[in-house]
Amino acid sequence: MLTIRDLEAWLRRSAELVGEHADELTALDAAIGDADHGANMKRGMTAVVSALDAGSFETVGTLLKKTGMTLVSTVGGASGPLYGTFFMRMGAAQASATGLDGPALAGAVEAGVAGIASRGRASAGEKTMLDAWYPALRALAADPQDLAAATAAAAAAAADGRDATTPMMATKGRASYLAERSIGHTDPGAASTALILQALAEVARE
């Protein structure tokens, strides 16, 4: 079972990883976007950590709603509303819960990913963060009982999904302006998603 404190630890670890990898995320975005994804995500996740420090959260719903709203208001760029929607929908799926077992986690992540797809009007294979989220969700939902194993599988699938964006041609977001010239570059949003799944696996392992 992931408790509220575990979910907070997930968000804090995500912020750490995004901070450590901010320059890489920005370099990916420099190749096919506007070179701000690392800075955007670092600013947003820093604000999330401040909100965690300032507040106290007793349900999955309140914790993740605050997280999502903070990202929407601080990240800017396409990724802010998309990640914001992810956390708000994930929280709404388990609003009054005080912890998540594996199947509840998988269901909540599924709701969050559906939120990204509807907000971004995107689907698999368009070279976006969804190309990391979808394989991660499939891995998580395939066998969710053992949280440590399921989240490790999801993190590995997200990393593979990130790498699989490299040969894709972008058809959504800023990178789509480059059309064929987006081929050969890894999607920055898929890379930040892989970090968020890595953080989840680390927290679930403890």
State the residues that interact with Mg ion by CB under 5 A.
29, 33-34, 36-37, 77
Give how far the C-alpha of residue 121 lies from the chain's centroid of Cα atoms, to the nearest Å: 17
Tokens of 15: 């912020």
187 binds, among Mg ion, ligand ADP, none (CB under 5 to 8 A by kind): ligand ADP
15 binds, among ligand ADP, Mg ion, none (CB under 5 to 8 A by kind): none
Q: Which one, of 140, 152, 143, 89, lies nearest residue 117 by Cα?
A: 89
Among 68, 77, 91, 135, binds ligand ADP (CB under 6 A): 77
Among 61, 84, 120, 161, binds ligand ADP (CB under 6 A): 120
Contact yes or no for 200/10 (Cβ under 8 A): yes
Q: Is 72 in the site for ligand ADP (CB under 6 A)?
A: no
2/75 with CB nearer ligand ADP:
75
d(CA 53, CA 69): 16
d(CA 99, CA 2): 5
Q: Is 112 in the site for ligand ADP (CB under 6 A)?
A: no
82 binds, among Mg ion, ligand ADP, none (CB under 5 to 8 A by kind): ligand ADP
d(CA 204, CA 23): 27
DSSP 97-113: -SEE-HHHHHHHHHHHH
Summarize as ranges the residues that interact with ligand ADP (CB under 6 A): 29, 33-34, 36-37, 40, 77-79, 82, 116, 120, 122, 128-130, 172-174, 187-190
